Structure 1
Amino acid sequence: MKLPFTREQFLEVFHKYNISVYPLQVLLLLLAVLTIMIIYRGSKRQQKMVPIILATFWIWMGIVYHIGYFSAINKVAYLFGMLFILQGIFFLHYGLKKFPLFTFQKNIRSITSVLLLIYALIFYPLTGHFAGHDYPYSPTFGLPCPTTIFTLAVFLLTQPRIPFYLSIIPLLWSIIGFSAAFSLGIYEDAGLIVSAFAFSALYFLNGKRPQPF
């Protein structure tokens, strides 16, 4: 894949983003931890917050990262930004109109979800460290790739399973983000394609019929 920017330019975007928004990326990480706590111990009413938190992540990535920073080296980022904002709106619609239930169970979906959550929050940055992508030249949580892995992991915990339209943009980004970042040596993004494959397989092979829009 021929990209309109170099590896150095790509890492510099992370550098500028991380320096400029600090310490907000810490808050985004804490929101991710809060999401897991709500799923594990929260009441059904508290779980209404999960889609709203996911909406916050995706709207943030669309406006701040894609449009605010990534667009400086890739004009297609404006399109990415609009898609991410749209995904955030989808989450708001789902969270406010539906009453989703998220739960950890003793099944393959939950086990896979836990592994992906651990990867997104812990092993993603560790893999980046060993690949030479140290802060601030690293994709912190709240940037598209680790947050997409986290999102797909949360999807696996929904009861009943989510409407398929909610997964289209995250799955598309998994393919786009993986193909671009991996060609630039961002090897931690291998988790994108793994999470997309795992989610897709479990969605279609282990669940009820999709809910209507």
Structure 2
Amino acid sequence: MIGGLAFALVFGRRKRSDEIIAGVLAAMRAWTGLIYHLMFFAPINKMAYAFAALFAIQVEAFGYVGVIQRRMTFGRSNCPEAWIGIALVLYAAVIYPLLGVAAGHEPAELPAFGVTPCPVTIFTLGILLLTIRPFPRPLLIIPILWSLIGGSAAILLGVPQDWLLLASGS
């Protein structure tokens, strides 16, 4: 739901849209890092603590750069990157769960948009492609790093909807 709000604000500009969108990105990554990684993933993989720390760093970065400093400006243009961004956002929110169901997973078993790291990362990269003013490139480090980690795990674990994760980070 908040992902839909962020996407809508890219097109329907309002006062403080940019700060709200950056705040949504921070909130989604906070939930994913702190709740998903620490509460659900850490009991089966101790690397989840490192992943949670990376997501926490990203939360701070989006909060500081996008909300406090107001250095992120979102909007749609006709450049190819913007169209790729729209495609990634729609993939993360709509196509991703449909591919999971088509692959034979029960809806309750699917990695959920806005909650789990792979669709959140695809969404994040898509929204970042919808910026119309340059932003600090270090904000891309953690999503790209996760696209490599999650994308390679997707191939090893047979999660076809996460395969695009590898491409989204390139």
Q: Write the distance in 2 (CA, Å) between the matches of 1:70 and 1:196.
A: 22
Q: Write the distance in 2 (CA, Å) between the matches of 1:124 and 1:102.
A: 23
Q: Write the distance in 1 (CA, Å) between the matches of 2:21 and 2:60.
A: 14
- 2:104 equivalent to 1:138: no
- 2:133 equivalent to 1:166: no
Structure 1: where are the runs of 5+ without partners?
A: 1-29, 198-213
- 2:127 equivalent to 1:154: yes
- 2:61 equivalent to 1:90: yes
AA at the equivalent of 2:79? N
Cα distance change of structure 1 residues 99 and 162 upon mapping to structure 2, 3 Å threshold: closer
8 A contact 2:151–2:166 mirrored in 1: yes
Aligned-residue offset at 1:44: 4.9
Measured against aligned partners, the alpha-carbon deviations of 1:34-92 in whole angstroms (never above 9, x if no partner) come to 00111101225222111111110111111100011100100010110111111101000
- 2:89 equivalent to 1:117: yes
Number of matched pairs:
168
Deviating 4+ runs (over 6 angstroms): none
Give the 3-state SS of the residue equivalent to 1:68 in structure 2: helix
C-alpha RMSD of the superposition: 1.1
Provide the residue aligned with 2:98 in structure 1: 126
Measured against aligned partners, the alpha-carbon deviations of 1:156-211 in whole angstroms (never above 9, x if no partner) come to 111212211101000000000011122111110011012112xxxxxxxxxxxxxx
Q: Write the distance in 2 (CA, Å) between the matches of 1:46 and 1:172.
A: 27
AA at the equivalent of 1:67? L
Provide the residue aligned with 1:107 in structure 2: 79
Q: Larger C-alpha radius of gyration, 1 or 2?
A: 1
Equivalent of 1:45, from 10, 16, 19? 16
Equivalent of 2:26, from 55, 58, 80? 55
- 2:46 equivalent to 1:75: yes
8 A contact 1:44–1:101 mirrored in 2: no
AA at the equivalent of 2:7? I
TM-score relative to the length of structure 1: 0.76
Q: Write the distance in 1 (CA, Å) between the matches of 2:144 and 2:105.
A: 24
Provide the residue aligned with 2:6 in structure 1: 35
Equivalent of 1:186, from 124, 140, 159? 159
Q: Write the distance in 2 (CA, Å) between the matches of 1:89 and 1:40.
A: 25
Structure 2: where are the runs of 5+ without partners?
A: none
Measured against aligned partners, the alpha-carbon deviations of 1:7-33 in whole angstroms (never above 9, x if no partner) come to xxxxxxxxxxxxxxxxxxxxxxx1011
